[in-house]
Amino acid sequence: MTSLLLLDKPEGLTSFSAVARARRVLGIKKAGHTGTLDPMATGVLPILLGGATRFAEFLPSHDKAYVAGLRLGIVTDTLDITGTVLEERQVNVTRSEIEAALGQFRGKILQVPPMYSAKSQGGERLYALARRGIEVEREARAVEIYRLELVDDENIYVECSAGTYIRSLIDDLGRALGCGACMSSLRRVKANGYGIERCVTLEQLEQGDTSGFVPIDEALAAYPAVEVTPAQTVRFRNGGALDLARLQIKIPTEGALHRVYGNNVFLGLGRIQSEELAVARLLIP
């Protein structure tokens, strides 16, 4: 099986465990997700199956969208409601004050990864250090918040670049409001260009629901397609570059990726290099 599976991950499972369950249901050996969700989080978890795992780095969209629960007045060590409460403060902020504070987090911002995260530092996961009571300096990194809105008094909607920590965003918002805040829930509603409406649950998958499967070439549809001859198909599958002069590519841009098809069958991705279309990644079912 070679495709992208759009899974609605349930609460209480790690992303690794969710992938393992999907793998067992489908009876396949090779699978991997495209972006970790914490156990408390639910929602879109794209899983690459079989030969599709070879194309993870080429998925064109890595932006995400979330609906996150906002608990004002509580600060925890994990920055979410599952952690140990460090402070409880009185909340005297209005909806308009919250909406005004959100403005400073839209656009490009610097964000410090939380200690309770899967990011590695010095060869060890930050959460492993945090569990031993060790806190280390973390370098702030740039992320981008494309859209940030207050859904209601207890939830925010966020569209952001990959690598954005929603719990850190909420913690920073609590600091800006002066009352502290932590994340009370998290649901990813979009990832890799696909929304929650395209996803299936593990229960649906177990019942044979196939609506969550996406052909890997569809997931790569942002790249233009090029059809090649039978002889070119053999050459490409053997790792050989193809002469651009013999291909129907309107605007050959150096470095551009193309989906390559032979007899309408997806062969893999090619990259324009000099006067050739070189193999970037072959599909190996």
Query: How do residues 222-247 score in pLDDT, each as one tens digit?
Result: 999 999 999 999 999 999 999 999 99
Q: Which of 38, 30, 36 shows the shortest CA–CA distance to 55? A: 30
Q: How many CB atoms lie within 10 A of CB 269?
A: 22
**193 DSSP assignment:** T
pLDDT band at 6 (very low <50, low <70, confident <90, very high): very high
Which stretch of DSSP H or E encloses residue 247?
none
Are residues 238 and 264 part of one domain? yes
105-140 pLDDT, tens digit per residue, is 999 999 988 877 777 777 777 777 778 777 777 888
Count structural domains, the chain. Answer: 3
Are residues 115 and 90 part of one domain? yes
Are residues 181 and 78 part of one domain? yes
* Active-site hit among 8, 38, 172, 217: 38
C-alpha span between 130 and 143 (Å, rounded): 23
Are residues 148 and 96 part of one domain? yes
45-81 pLDDT, tens digit per residue, is 999 999 999 999 999 888 999 999 999 999 999 999 9
> Which range marks the domain in which residue 248 is found?
223-282
Count Cβ atoms within 10 A of the Cβ of residue 122 and give its class: 0-12 exposed, 13-18 middle, 19 or more buried: exposed
Q: Could you give the 3-state DSSP secondary structure of residue 145?
A: strand
Predicted TM-score of the model (pTM): 0.91
CATH of the domain at 43: 3.30.2350.10
Average pLDDT over residues 177-199: 97
Are residues 187 and 95 part of one domain? yes
Q: Active-site residue 152, yes or no?
A: no
* pLDDT (0 to 100) of residue 120: 77
C-alpha span between 178 and 73 (Å, rounded): 9
Are residues 182 and 71 part of one domain? yes
**7 DSSP assignment:** E
pLDDT band at 271 (very low <50, low <70, confident <90, very high): very high
Average pLDDT over the chain reads 94
